[in-house]
Amino acid sequence: MKNVKEILQFDFSPTTFEQSASKAIPITLIHKIGNRISYLKAITEKIGESSFAFHDDSLKSKAYQKFKVSFVENSNGFNKREIRALIYGLDYCENNQTTILSNENEIAYAIELINSNWRDSFLKGMTIFLFKNWDSTFQKSIDKIREFVSLKIGNYNGNNIGLLALKSSKQFYNTKNGDIILGDTIVKLDKTIEDASKMLGVPNSWISFPYFSKVIVTYYEKSKSTIVHGIDNLIETLIKHNSSITNKRLLSKIIIQANKPEFAILQDKIKPIAFTHIGDPSNISKWSAIDNANDIEKSEILEARNILDEWIAKQFIDIFFRVCLNDDRRKRFWLKVASKNKLSFKVHGPTRTKRILQKDERIKEYLDARFNNVFSSKDVSAFILYVGDYMFIEFSDAGYAFYAYKIHGDSKPNLNHRLNSVDDLRNGNMPMLVYRSGYNINSTNSEGRLTHNDGDLGWEQVFEYWFKNIAGINV
């Protein structure tokens, strides 16, 4: 018996129909439309951004001086252009005078003056000023501006797309913690940090404003468990944000997290970023606490600097004992010391050694600050580590003994000048750190030298005994 398809002589294939439909519009036309949409978006972005800009510094200066007189004399007489200039100049000062923002009475008067001459077009300037000065030390003045901007945007009934977008996202800036709310909301909506400016309806360039500092940090805090997958977007946004304050806030947190075994994969990625955007951890001033930092932020910045210093030290130890000496036992010993103690280090050696080390991209950018050339071309280098009260020296030649000098002792080598060779770091008159026979430790000294020779006890056991019991250093 024939079926329906055979009777009607109609054979319909949904799959074939779907495939044909997908090809109804030529791919070239799709690409052309996409390119034109991108072009229009770029124009819209550029126009929108320029409408927020103000570059007339001479008018800003005139408006500032006129305001100072007006505040004393309680006079008005400002035109629209002067009010607009005043809005952009609330944090402006000259001739040893103070900013309007720094004086609560002046900022209250300025708001009253702006309100009495109000135009909806002022909202753009008021908003940009708020976002640029979000973290100002003059928070009472910022609170007044925040309240005024929120009120005016709430009452806005025009059709400007940018202002309507700001009106619909008012919850992200009408309170002091609006930036934190935005960072949290981005995560809850499963969006990326790159969507931050879009959610506010502001130009992408605003990502550089201080308002976005805690947006970025909060986004990290709320998504840190999966940060491995979003680290590239986060770092890209951080670079666009371009703030030394946010760099320290965020990178310190990521460094501390990356120091845990399960996040070790982040170390090689975050290390050069921190080095470039904060600085070498050996330079303490680069890692000083940010202005108005709370105790937690101060502690995190210090901890992160120490961790980064440890990472760099471990990298140098690994490469030095592998490339310059090829001694895996010494490398393992010093990596253990670096893991359990805060230390700093320098490498002294011939130019040839530096050129060899420079070939390794992992330490190349850290090398100049940590390598000191000696005059001699003798192919022996010294790795100097400062741990606790001691200066420790290991040499790249297997025939050289290890030396331990007290940092404040008289025997310590003088490193205030360029060395002729690393042999200047040796002192054959120094006693042995440990005298032993068989399995017994007979006597010890607080300064001196040790060989890397095994006996009944391996040299590591002898070193560990002296480190723990004489130097008081964890191994």
- Taking 70 as the pLDDT cut, the residues of the chain under it are 1-56
pTM of the model as a whole:
0.78
Q: HEC states along the chain?
A: CCCHHHHHCCCCCHHHHHHHHHCCCCHHHHHHHHHHHHHHHHHHHHHHHHCCCCCCHHHHHHHHHHHHHHHHHCCCCCCHHHHHHHHHCCCCCCCCCCCCCCCHHHHHHHHHHHHHCCCCCHHHHHHHHHHHCCCCCCHHHHHHHHHHHHHHHHCCCCCCHHHHHHHHCHHHCCCCCHHHHHHHHHHHCCCCHHHHHHHHCCCHHHHHCCCHHHHHHHHHHHHHHHHHHHHHHHHHHHHHHCCHHHHHHHHHHHHHHHCCHHHHHHHHHHHHHHHHHCCCCCCHHHHCCCCCCCHHHHHHHHHHHHHHHHHHHHHHHHHHHHHHCCCHHHHHHHHHHHHHCCEEEEEEECHHHHHHHHCCHHHHHHHCCCEEECCCCCCCCEEEEEECCEEEEEECCCCCCEEEEECCCCCCCCCCCCCCCHHHHCCCCCCECEEEECCEEEEECCCEEECCCCCCCCHHHHHHHHHHHHHCCCC
Q: Closest by alpha carbon to 346, among 284, 282, 410?
A: 282
Q: Closest by alpha carbon to 462, among 440, 430, 446, 447?
A: 440
Domain ranges of the chain: 4-50, 53-168, 172-278, 319-471
- Are 128 and 52 spatial neighbours (Cβ–Cβ below 8 Å)? yes
Q: How much is the pLDDT for 75?
A: 81
Q: How far is CA 368 from the centre of its chain?
A: 22
Q: How much is the pLDDT for 21?
A: 58
Q: How much is the pLDDT for 9?
A: 59
Q: How much is the pLDDT for 117?
A: 94
Q: How much is the pLDDT for 52?
A: 45
Q: How much is the pLDDT for 53?
A: 53
Structure tokens at 372: 């000191």
Q: How much is the pLDDT for 325?
A: 85
Q: How much is the pLDDT for 49?
A: 45
Q: Closest by alpha carbon to 365, among 259, 303, 248, 281?
A: 281
Q: List C-alpha distances in Å: 352 to 13, 128, 295, 368, 420.
A: 74, 55, 46, 14, 15
24 vs 111: CA distance, rounded Å: 59
User: For 187-242, what is each residue's pLDDT tens digit?
Assistant: 999 999 999 999 999 999 999 999 999 999 999 999 999 999 999 999 999 999 99
Query: Which residues are CB-contacts of 388 (< 8 A; sequence separation ≥ 6)?
Result: 341, 471, 472, 473
Token pair 């420079």: residue? 358
- Are 125 and 87 spatial neighbours (Cβ–Cβ below 8 Å)? yes
